[in-house]
Amino acid sequence: MLSNVWHCISVQDIINKETCFCLPQNLTTRDQGTHHEESYNMNEPAKTETPVVSTKTEKSVETKPSKGKPKEKETARETIESIVFAFVLAFLFRTFEAEAFVIPTGSMAPTLFGRHKDMQCEQCGYTFQFGASSEVTRDGTVLIPNSRIHEARCPNCRFSNPSAFASPPFKGDRILVNKFQYELGTPKRFDVVVFKYPEDSKTNFIKRLVGLPGETIRIHHGNLYRVTENGREEILRKDNPNKQRVIQIPVYNDAFPCEALKEAGWPNRWAGVDRTNAEGSIAGWSEAPNTWKLNEESRSYQLTKEGQKPNQPTWLRYRHFAPKDSTWMSIEANDPVEPRPRLIGDFCGYNTVVEDTLRRSSTDELFWVGDLNITGSVDIDEIQEGANFTIELTEGIHWYRCHLNPNTGEARLVRVEAGLNPDEEIELATANTSFKGTGSHTFWFANVDDRLCLWIDDDLIDFGEAANYESSELHGMMPDASDYTPVGIAMQGMTGSVSDLRILRDIYYRGSGISLENGELLLDNVSEWQRAYRNHGKEIDFYEIQIPEDNFFVLGDNSPMSSDGRFWETTHTVPRQAFVGKAFYIYWPHAIPIGVDSGYAVTLSYHKKFTRQGEIVTDRSYPLHYGPFYPNFWRMKRIR
């Protein structure tokens, strides 16, 4: 469904030769971007629980009757046929029953966007989205006093963009929900579901279903676990890795370097390195400028014969030099910067906004994330006997590698226990791939939810069950100094280049709403972070629930900002009868206005605001909708 207008037919309409069109409820017939007034408390802000608004209303449009009086025999026949046809249509509509909803808030970001803004970073040019539902009351048009967003922090270079204040806001995603699916079968784990909020049955919510009836679910270290009868924990993961891949969160995109950071002396995050353990090295890795060479224009890293290490891999590694707010303050003041590598945390650009000009932005980045992905392109110029292309992801004392042989196309998965012997590789699995010969390939290597996944040229490589492993709380759940530089790429016996390098992380499900004190600062010091987590992890990052029969447990994908089953007051689960249906398609993300920055766009409507007397008036300083616009086809997609 690629339109926000439904075409419905009723029995009486067919008999009367009339057509009925359905427009979304929160749209007027004059302007499809303007909400109807609803019976909400106008002083109440939009909630992060993500109540979804049904868009099911009707408006009839009569057609002109045909000229000429038909024959009586034909009229009777057409009437009978119309009645039969109407019953068939009614049955089909019941079979494939669907309803449209609008997402108002961001508790399911990045899977689903609520009211938000699009931003192109002023410093690095990276495009990202940030939530803006906190600006308005629940009808989406009336501003809450002193709630305007003044800045938004870029997830790529961490610059706080002041242009966020004037950026145009957009309504949340409009989605289709299959209501009949749960009438025939039961909801499945990891479905995105719409349900009646257990504490207010008049409100529809949308979350991801993670726990089934009768299960005991635990949350810790960002992962979801099911507790078995013997007390063992089984990690919960998506069965299909392709579905897992679409909900990964960006950490760094190398195609968008920041010139201001470079001029201030900030190091490039990717660099050719040698293992030397010299002073100033990062986890034993020191820069080797004569190995991999960066082409600034194409953002590609080239390895030639002259730069190769003989009979050993030549490494290109990512160092997580993520700037902090203090970094940008130093640059603004023309003071020296102090680059320090950090642990990758659960930073989410959708949430990092500033609503008060008197304080700086807060990242709400508290917990180390070890489940990472690396994706990019490789161009192979020349291969020799024994050639090998290696991709490495570290997670604490466990290092996971994928060796690709360009002579045979074979892929090997291995694990290194760095705490025991960093030079010994433990074989896990092998498979055949299309990675063969010279030429270009794309790759995506993931270590998520205790499973290694590899895509070559966008094809998932089947390693079978051997790609799954089991970590424990004693081994692999705490960061190590190697996690300052958690991603590596190496070539041996071959020359070529890599480009389009992106690092992503998995969703980190928090165990509570309690913050790790100074968590953002502790990510600079792995020893201090380990100590703080060992002392307080059970208090701040642990949750367990026993799900009653015929009930389910749900969470939001935007874990830091989702008030879901973890935090409800009267119940923590959703009864079976409360389910409305399964969300399956974004049929109308926000339209893209044309000419807003250049001044050619036409303002169609404005926000409203409260006066000091409590009256609601038009705020002509803050446009709500612009025209002309075109559909956002790129985000029309299935919901995974």
235 against 74, higher pLDDT: 235
Least-confidence region, from 80-84, 130-134, 606-610: 80-84
CA atoms within 13 A on the CB side of 537: 15
178-187, 218-227, 593-602 — most confident range: 218-227
pLDDT at 280: 85
Averaged over 323-340, what is the pLDDT?
A: 95
| Structural domains of the chain, with CATH | 250-355+369-505 (2.60.120.560)
Phi first, then psi: give them for residue 92, nearest 5 degrees. Answer: -65, -40
Cα 224 to Cα 237: distance, rounded to the nearest angstrom: 8
pLDDT at residue 381, as a whole number: 97
Q: Which residue in the block uniquely carries the two structure tokens 């991999």?
A: 292
CA dist 554 and 607 (Å) reads 34
Q: Does residue 161 carry a pLDDT above 80?
A: yes
Q: Find the mean pLDDT for residues 304-331.
A: 95
Residue 53 is predicted with a pLDDT of 65
Nearest alpha carbon to residue 175 among 53, 92, 20, 21: 53
Average pLDDT for residues 504-529, to the nearest whole number? Answer: 85
**What residue has token string 């950090």?**
342
Given the structure tokens 């994330």, which residue do they identify? 369
- Active-site residue among 117, 133, 167, 207? 207
pLDDT of residue 37: 32
**What tens digit of pLDDT does each residue of 540-581 get?**
899 999 999 999 999 999 999 998 999 999 999 999 999 999
Q: Is 443 helix (H, G, I), strand (E, B) or coil?
A: strand
DSSP string across 316-369: EEE------HHHHHHHHTTPPP-------B---TTT-EES-TTS-------SB-
Q: What is the pLDDT of residue 55?
A: 58
Cα–Cα distance measured from residue 245 to residue 141, given in angstroms and rounded to the nearest whole number: 35
Query: Is 147 annotated as catalytic?
Result: no
Query: In the chain, pLDDT over 90 holds for what percent of residues?
Result: 71
DSSP run (H or E) holding 44:
none
Closest CA to 204 of 135, 114, 101: 101
pLDDT (mean) for 438-442? 98
Q: Is 179 a catalytic residue?
A: no
- 151 touches 83 (CB < 8 A): no
Three-state DSSP class for 295? Answer: strand
CB burial class (10 A; 0-12, 13-18, 19+) of residue 261? buried
- Rounded Cα distance between 51 and 102, Å, is 9
| φ, ψ at 243 (rounded to 5°) | -75, -35
137-147 per-residue burial string, b: 16 or more CB within 10 A, e: under 16: bbbbbbbbeee
Neighbouring residues of 341: CB distance < 8 A, sequence distance ≥ 6: 282, 319, 320, 321, 484, 485
List the alpha helices (DSSP H) in 96-238: 181-184
Greater model confidence, 48 or 18: 48
Say how far apart CA 430 and CA 432 lie, in whole Å.
Answer: 7
pLDDT in tens, 130-151: 999 999 998 888 999 989 999 9
Residues paired with 542 in a beta bridge: 220
Mean pLDDT in residue range 21-33: 33
Mapped onto helix, strand or coil, the DSSP state of residue 90 is helix
Cβ neighbours of 600 (radius 10 Å): 11
User: What pLDDT was estimated at residue 546?
Assistant: 97
pLDDT digit string, tens, across residues 189-244: 999 999 999 999 999 999 999 999 999 999 999 999 999 999 999 999 999 999 99
What is the rounded (10 degree) CA torsion for 423, 428, 432, 437? Answer: -10
Instruction: Please state, in angstroms and as integers, the Cα–Cα distance from residue 28 to each residue in 8, 37, 58, 63, 152, following that order.
Output: 18, 10, 11, 21, 31
Residue 281 scores a pLDDT above 80? yes
Indicate if the pLDDT at residue 506 is higher than 50: yes
Q: Is the confidence at residue 38, as pLDDT, over 50? A: no
